[in-house]
Homo-oligomer: A and B are copies of this chain.
Amino acid sequence: MSGFSQSLKVKTFNIDSGKVICVLNEIDAKELGLFPGDRVEIKSKRTGKNCVAIVDITSSMVAENNIGFFNETTKLLGVKTHQLVDVSATPMIKSVDFIKKKMRGEKLSKEELDEIVKDISDNRLSDIEASAFMSAVYMKGFDIDETADMTKALIENGQKISFDVSPVVDKHSVGGVNGRATMIIVPIIASQGLYMPKTSSRSITSAAGTADAMEVLAPVNISFEKIKKITKEVGGVISWGGSVDLAPADDKIIKIEHPLALDPEGQVIASVLAKKASVGSKFVVIDLPVGVEAKIKDRKIAVRMARKFVEIGKEIGMEVEAVITSGDEPSGLAFGPALEAKYVLEILEGKRFDNLAKKSCELAGAIFELAGLAGTTKGYKKAVAILKSGEALKKMKEIIKAQGGKIDSSAKIIYSPLNQVFKAEEDGIIQDLKVHGFTKVARLAGAPANKKAGVLLHKEEGDKIKKGEPIYTIFAENKVKLASAISYAKGNPPFVLKTVVLKKIK
């Protein structure tokens, strides 16, 4: 705005603010005509480095003629306390105009989205600005061009990683509920010579994430180099995504979306596909669970999203198949890391073949079809055959060993002796097993932090049950949490038992 420049003395604070900001005394801010949220250019004569920082203003934290830096800014400038820097006001950055443009409902170009993603990635946008952008995207949406351009911008501004093997395949579940399909799909796929280096998440609101459950069997905190090595050796990896930084811009966008649970469709698609592209995935199956308890409530929306996934995939040279699945009933009957891990091993060992096993074979089959390893509609049968033959179990044992784990059979996972069985009080039919209800009980019991805590169901939806038969068991690692979970479960039964006698009035 104005042409002022001022020389100020650095005061460093050993704080990670996550943003490139500087703190000015209100007197200097007035002198420079600055307001909180404005930007300044800062130059260090000593190091020759410069950066643009967002202004915060204080009356006490930083004295007049001083300027406060947190770690991000200190590092960019390479300066120390008491050194001098030159500070001058800068005009708004271009991204801010593009954000305003989106707020007005106008379409953004590839170049404009690129600029925004670059600025988010380099911490140049304040939370206020980034939130305005995500709000605008949420409220105005991305059309198909913008979704494709956003996907490309995320890919270009992230790391591109090559696994030196081909073809790499992947699957992703959008807003799935529970169920560890990944731990069944990866060994099925890897046993046939395809490469599936999977990075999974830990639980945020569920009883266990794939990374939490896999961690019961083997370490999941695996460096990128090691992921590469294991993939070449055994074809598959199930690691925690947090240990490798694949898509820094996307992680920052998710952080902005989280507080208000914003999940604009276009951004979800761009975010998923960019992550897959960054690791060179060629064939990708997208699982879209639909149901009242799933993220996607409406089948029409799932169909629309499925088409977009396929179309954007084409644009970035990726073969995508989207599979719409039922997100209402639990996938598998276990809630909690150890319980889910044991459950998955039992499926691989041929001891169970339930809806989780079926769903996993559907998704693995879709990958086989995409990759040309099975004819159209033949994928599912191929996956089931591999699962039943024991090939998948053999591969899973190789993966566990390669990741440095030792728990490779369900028998090695012992249930916690601290538990409470809930039995049917009358004869009836089990109806409406509530995923969110069981998740809540499992978390109160200590999952996912307490690995052996959780809930195991003994019946599926539609099963007949006799009075006195067990419906589900809560496991915990300590008595306080067990009591808390029991108390909640009694007050909020996570299932409906349909009986002949509906109510007794005395």
Contacts and interface: CB of A to CB of B under 8 A. Distances in A.
A260 B35 contact: no
Interface stretch (A75-83, A198-206, A349-357, A489-497): A198-206
B2 A443 contact: yes
A318 B31 CA distance: 37
Contacts of A61: 14-16
Given A16-B61, A127-B127, A35 B103 contact: no
A96 B444 contact: no
CB-based closest 8 A-B pairs: A37-B259, A131-B131, A135-B135, A2-B443, A127-B127, A128-B131, A132-B135, A31-B449
Nearest to A37: B259
Interface string A435-449: 000001001100011
A505 interface: no
Contacts of A16: 58, 60-61
Given A33-B204, A135-B136, 14 more contacts: A2-B443, A2-B444, A3-B488, A16-B58, A33-B203, A35-B255, A38-B258, A100-B260, A100-B261, A103-B139, A103-B260, A128-B131, A128-B256, A139-B140
A36 interface: yes
A128 to B, nearest CB: 4
Indicate the size class of the contact surface on chain A.
Answer: 35 or more
Contacts of A14: 61
B96 A260 contact: yes
Interface in A134-155: 134-136, 138-140
Contacts of A18: 56
Contacts of A129: 131, 259-260
A449 B259 contact: no
B4 A449 contact: yes
A226 interface: no
Contacts of A443: 1-3, 33
Interface string A198-220: 00001111000000000000000
B37 A255 contact: yes
Given A1-B205, A13-B15, A103-B135, A30 B449 contact: yes
A126 interface: yes
Given A3-B443, A16-B60, A444-B3, A103 B205 contact: no
A35 B258 contact: yes
A260 B128 contact: yes
A38 B255 CA distance: 10
Contacts of A134: 132
A40 to B, nearest CB: 13
A484 interface: yes
Contacts of A488: 3
Nearest to A1: B205
A38 to B, nearest CB: 8
B131 A127 contact: yes
Interface string A24-61: 00000011110111100000000000000000101011
A259 B135 contact: no
Nearest to A13: B15
A216 to B, nearest CB: 15
15 contacts: A1-B205, A2-B440, A3-B484, A16-B60, A30-B449, A37-B259, A96-B259, A100-B261, A126-B127, A128-B128, A128-B131, A128-B260, A131-B132, A135-B135, A136-B139
A292 B118 CA distance: 33
A169 interface: no
A99 interface: yes
Interface in A391-417: none
Interface string A1-26: 11110000000011110100000000
A36 B255 contact: yes
A349 to B, nearest CB: 30
Contacts of A135: 103, 131-132, 135-136, 139
A278 B213 CA distance: 57
Contacts of A260: 96, 99-100, 103, 128-129, 132
A36 B31 CA distance: 35
A126 B19 CA distance: 15
A452 to B, nearest CB: 15
Contacts of A132: 131-132, 134-135, 260, 262
Nearest to A68: B15
Nearest to A34: B204
B3 A259 contact: no
Interface in A114-137: 126-132, 134-136
Nearest to A138: B103
A199 to B, nearest CB: 16
